[in-house]
Amino acid sequence: MITTLLVANRGEIACRVMRTAKALGLKTVAVHSAIDRAARHVREADLAVDLGGAKPAESYLLVDKLIAAARASGAQAIHPGYGFLSENAGFARAVEDAGLIFLGPPASAIEAMGSKSAAKALMEEAGVPLVPGYHGEAQDLATFRAAAERIGYPVLLKAAAGGGGKGMKVVEREADLAEALASAQREAQAAFGDARMLIEKYLLKPRHVEIQVFADRHGNCLYLNERDCSIQRRHQKVVEEAPAPGLSPELRRAMGEAAVKAAQAIGYVGAGTVEFLLDERGDFYFMEMNTRLQVEHPVTEAITGLDLVAWQIRVARGEPLPITQEQVPLHGHAIEVRLYAEDPDNDFLPATGTLELYREPAPGPGRRVDSGVSEGDLVSPFYDPMLGKLIAWGETREEARQRLLAMLDETLVGGVKTNLAFLRRVLAHPAFASAELDTGFISRHQAVLLPLPGQLPEAFWQAAADAFIQSEASMCRADDPHSPWSARNGWRAGLGAETELHLVCNGSERKVRPSGRNQLQGENLVCPRQEGDTQVQYRLPAIRRGTTLYLEWQGELQAVSRFDPIAAVEASHGHQGGLTAPMSGSIVRVLVEAGQRVEAGTALVVVEAMKMEHSIRAPQAGVVKALFCAEGEQVSEGTTLVELEEA
């Protein structure tokens, strides 16, 4: 019997799981680290247990504390969410051993899918199509050479213990195989402690199409259509949609039945996803199976009308699946984008800060927002930087796309850099509108999708000055229209009406006089523009938070504040020539030595944070003057790591 559910996770997935649990009448228990004490998932739970610590290893990954929290709170079941311990067989087993219910697959199924090679062997046996290749125990060069000859170049070397694109190497011709294999084995050993490789035919321009499967404890297993997740950046999904554009009912059935076979081969129970590569000829090949509820499950829920978390709870209670395969709905089209706290001008490195401004799109038909944050929350460097997901459903893909663009236009985030503008560019791109989807989408269109940060035009600075000075007036005005503070021409006691403002925005600064041409009305700046013979008025969101004015300009929210000479001096006193850690993390590689000459772009140090590696590169040619870090060290954001002298 489940009456109380503990969610061993945080952020949007914790909020999402608790939403369904409450709808089913369950009591919900949140767990949190010390720094998440005031987080949204804690506020929305019936009970909360403080795990202490900050980093996941000090909090959300502590199995004993999680089980103790379940016992203390009277929870009979634990939902792992995704990430963290969701695919940790040891945790699943510990939960079951403690007499609690793990809302996930059996530990044996998690283990079976843990190794790429073992998973492929199981799938081969089950008759699930695999990419032509070799995934055996023999790891000598001759074995790989023979396999490559058999399957034909180009081939792809993959680390058996790898995942998410880590430990992959394309080999174009036989002459490169020996060195590539040796290098890949070294990297796999260093990254995963396991040098075992597999080799496959390299598929050109494949699509990532995954099948949602669901199995109960009575031997029933369904596929709930598919999702196309081909638009990824560095193996991180950016856009997901369902159904996969252009997939025929025959291909859907073939892939769905193969996915069900894969799930049944490992005695699967609960929600799972079987990932396939789909090539241009319509052939599909097993890639891997994820034994958890995926981030992107909402698009499947949107086109089927099902609640997959409710199904997880019912199956955990021992109930049979409520429908048959023929009754699985497929209605309309849904598209999801992931809103990340990332800095697009800094290689999309995770961003931190305080959400001084956070506005979600208004609710409405075909709209869904799964978020784990609220305005005022701190975005810390300790966890995955995803803030939430925007999901739009439509009768057609175009309707879903337009609806999602409108939702993106309504979304405002200030105080923390995000990938919002990038998401808008992807959704608005003609190639996306015409569903030209494959895993090379972003690299193919990166000139448009990932433009270099541009210079802000004079019109922006003029609008910013007007909005800034007027927002100060409205902040100071005592609601007295006769107060001099009400003057909209920038008048200040003791200062002329034409006071010049010294503003900064996104690393640029400008001295600019307010013109009064642009008028602040509430939280919008009304900007008159002459277009031909027509006077047009634009309304730009202009929202003040403390000393910062957030002004939307060409779809991006710009943070404008007064130039602060003290801050400017402090910033310049960073180590001259010093290259600093872009965010807190651990030093996984130091690739240079003091005295070494390096070219512009040479990777110097690799920092690992939020499950991703970030290379600190030489901004220009030079000589390494000094190293201030060593492999294995923890560093915080802003720590100087390397000092370079210009060549």
Catalytic residues: 292
Task: Report the chain's C-alpha Rg in angstroms.
Answer: 27
Look at residues 243, 208, 247 and name the one whose alpha carbon lies nearest to residue 439.
208
Report, in Å, the least distance between residue 608 CB and ligand MV4. 18
Look at residues 99, 112, 81, 113 and name the one whose alpha carbon lies nearest to residue 6.
81
Which residues, in sequence order, are CB contacts of 170 under 8 Å at separation 6+?
154, 155, 156, 157, 202
Contact between 131 and ligand MV4 (CB under 6 A)?
yes
SS3 634: strand
Strand order in the sheet with 27-32: 47-50, 27-32, 4-7, 77-79, 101-102
Report, in Å, the least distance between residue 204 CB and ligand MV4. 8
Report, in Å, the least distance between residue 171 CB and ligand MV4. 12
Measure Cα distances from 530 to 407, 533, 536 in Å.
Answer: 28, 7, 6
Query: Segment near ligand MV4 (CB under 6 A), from 34-42, 75-83, 198-206, 471-479?
Result: 198-206
What residues numbered 412-451 form the site for ligand MV4, per CB under 6 A? 439
Tokens of 550: 């957030």
Contact between 135 and ligand MV4 (CB under 6 A)?
no
Residue 56 or residue 162: which is nearer to ligand MV4 going by CB?
162
Q: What per-residue string of b and e applies to 404-434 under the rule 16 or more CB within 10 Å gives b? A: bbebbeebbbbbbbbbbbbbbbbbebeebee
Residue 131 or residue 316: which is nearer to ligand MV4 going by CB?
131
Quote the CA–CA distance of 190 and 588 in Å, as a whole number.
10
Local structure of residue 457 (DSSP, 8 states): P
SS3 560: strand
Contact between 165 and ligand MV4 (CB under 6 A)?
yes
Report, in Å, the least distance between residue 273 CB and ligand MV4. 12
Which residues, in sequence order, are CB contacts of 368 under 8 Å at separation 6+?
298, 302, 390, 391, 392, 393
Report, in Å, the least distance between residue 265 CB and ligand MV4. 19
Look at residues 359, 213, 346, 343 and name the one whose alpha carbon lies nearest to residue 272.
213
Query: Segment near ligand MV4 (CB under 6 A), from 46-54, 186-194, 200-208, 326-334?
Result: 200-208
Contact between 277 and ligand MV4 (CB under 6 A)?
yes
Please check whether residue 159 is in contact with residue 191, taking contact to mean a CB–CB distance below 8 angstroms: yes
Residue 164 or residue 522: which is nearer to ligand MV4 going by CB?
164
Which residues, in sequence order, are CB contacts of 514 under 8 Å at separation 6+?
465, 466, 468, 469, 470, 489, 490, 499, 501
Contact between 206 and ligand MV4 (CB under 6 A)?
yes
What residues numbered 282-311 form the site for ligand MV4, per CB under 6 A? 287
Binds ligand MV4 by CB under 6 A, chosen from 156, 251, 526, 626: 156
Quote the CA–CA distance of 12 and 377 in Å, as a whole number.
13
Per-residue mark of binding to ligand MV4, 233-252 (x: CB under 6 A): --x-----------------
Query: Segment near ligand MV4 (CB under 6 A), from 115-123, 144-152, 196-204, 210-218?
Result: 196-204
What residues numbered 574-613 form the site for ligand MV4, per CB under 6 A? none
Query: Segment near ligand MV4 (CB under 6 A), from 203-211, 485-493, 557-565, 576-584?
Result: 203-211
**What count of residues does the chain have?**
647
Contact between 208 and ligand MV4 (CB under 6 A)?
yes
Which residues, in sequence order, are CB contacts of 253 under 8 Å at separation 6+?
none
Residue 176 or residue 307: which is nearer to ligand MV4 going by CB?
176
Query: Segment near ligand MV4 (CB under 6 A), from 77-85, 175-183, 201-209, 378-386?
Result: 201-209
Binds ligand MV4 by CB under 6 A, chosen from 232, 291, 419, 639: 232
Report, in Å, the least distance between residue 205 CB and ligand MV4. 9
Which residues, in sequence order, are CB contacts of 32 under 8 Å at separation 6+?
10, 39, 41, 42, 48, 49, 50, 51, 59
Report, in Å, the least distance between residue 287 CB and ligand MV4. 5
How many residues make contact with ligand MV4 (CB under 6 A)?
15
Report, in Å, the least distance between residue 224 CB and ligand MV4. 20
Contact between 472 and ligand MV4 (CB under 6 A)?
no
Q: What residue ranges bind ligand MV4 (CB under 6 A)?
A: 131, 156, 164-165, 200-203, 206, 208, 232, 235, 277, 287, 439
